[in-house]
Amino acid sequence: MTPSRLTRLKPGWYLLIALAIYAVVVTVLLARASNRPEPVAEPPLPEPATTQAATAEITAPDGLWFPIPGASLPASDENLPGAPRVYRHGVSQGFDFYSEDAGVPLGHGTPVVAAASGQIVRADVAFTEMDPRAWEVLIADVEDAGADETQLDNLRGRQVWLRTEDGTVLRYGHLSSIRSGIRVGTNVYRGQVIGYVGNSGTDRAVAGSQDGARLRFEIWTDEDEFFGAGMDATEVRLAAATLFVGP
């Protein structure tokens, strides 16, 4: 029997055939790969913002916050700076916030916040109320001759004073207590709770009652002039509309 032509191939031909098949397979695979779409590179993640930059983006406009969140200017002209105080022959040196007049419920213990960032320069943490006899003497004195600075200081009750970066001093009066940790030299931020509404420095507090809760809030641009001095009620409201920015 005559052997087939395939069986008469030399061994080297088998190697050539195998290489040819390999080349065809590789060519097909490369062709398929070249037809695949290029993967889309995902954009790099943004670098995390620094605390300072992030803060700058959300900083509220310059100005004062109301010392009681959500409050508004007193509706009554009697509770504005410059309003007469007949019983002591003088005028009010600040805003008086009462529940029925400030636009929000306001009772004994309502939180009071820093209207601006700054440093605490007074904090009456050891305040004690006057006894009834001392109160009677004080009221008799101011009725006759008006109130001097020391007497006005007594009439404000428990106080916290906050000095802002531009030197303005914000005075908080009639507080029931001061928040723990608030001391002279403490730096606070706008909106931080610094105390609580009360009625200290009033006849009701002297009598041991918590009735008549209010907040006295005074703005002193220097040691001798308070915001609203020499203005009538309309002028005070117009000036305060740009002074307070919220919340």
**pLDDT single digits (tens) 9-52:** 555 555 556 666 766 555 655 556 555 555 555 455 444 444 44
Q: Is residue 121 part of a domain?
A: yes
Three-state secondary-structure class, residue 196 = strand
The CATH number linked to 115 is: 2.70.70.10
The per-residue pLDDT for 37 is: 52
Q: Is residue 9 part of a domain?
A: no
Alpha-carbon distances, residue 245 vs 66, 67, 150 (angstroms):
8, 11, 32
pLDDT 10s digits, 185-221: 999 999 999 999 999 999 999 999 999 999 999 999 9
Q: Is residue 137 part of a domain?
A: yes
In what helix (H) or strand (E) does residue 160 lie, and over which residues does it extend? strand 160-164
Q: Is residue 163 part of a domain?
A: yes
pLDDT 10s digits, 211-247: 999 999 999 998 889 999 999 999 999 999 999 998 8
Q: Total domain count for the chain?
A: 1
Distance of alpha carbon 118 from the chain centroid: 12
Main-chain phi, psi angles of 89, to 5 degrees: 55, 45
Q: In the structure, what pLDDT confidence band is assigned to residue 145 with cuts at 50, 70 and 90?
A: confident
Angle, CA of 174, 101 and 180, to the nearest 5°: 35
Q: Is residue 113 part of a domain?
A: yes
Q: Is residue 118 part of a domain?
A: yes
The residue type found at 125 is: V
What does the pLDDT average to over 103-129? 97
Q: Fill in the DSSP letter of residue 232.
A: -
Q: Rounded distance, CA 110 to CA 120, Å?
A: 20
Give the domain extent around 155: 62-246
- Sheet with 175-178, strands from edge to edge, namely 111-113, 193-197, 175-178
The per-residue pLDDT for 163 is: 97
Q: Is residue 40 part of a domain?
A: no
Relative to beta strand 64-65, strand 95-98 is unpaired
The per-residue pLDDT for 132 is: 95
pTM of the entire predicted model: 0.76
115 contacts 69 by C-beta, under 8 angstroms: no
Q: Is residue 77 part of a domain?
A: yes
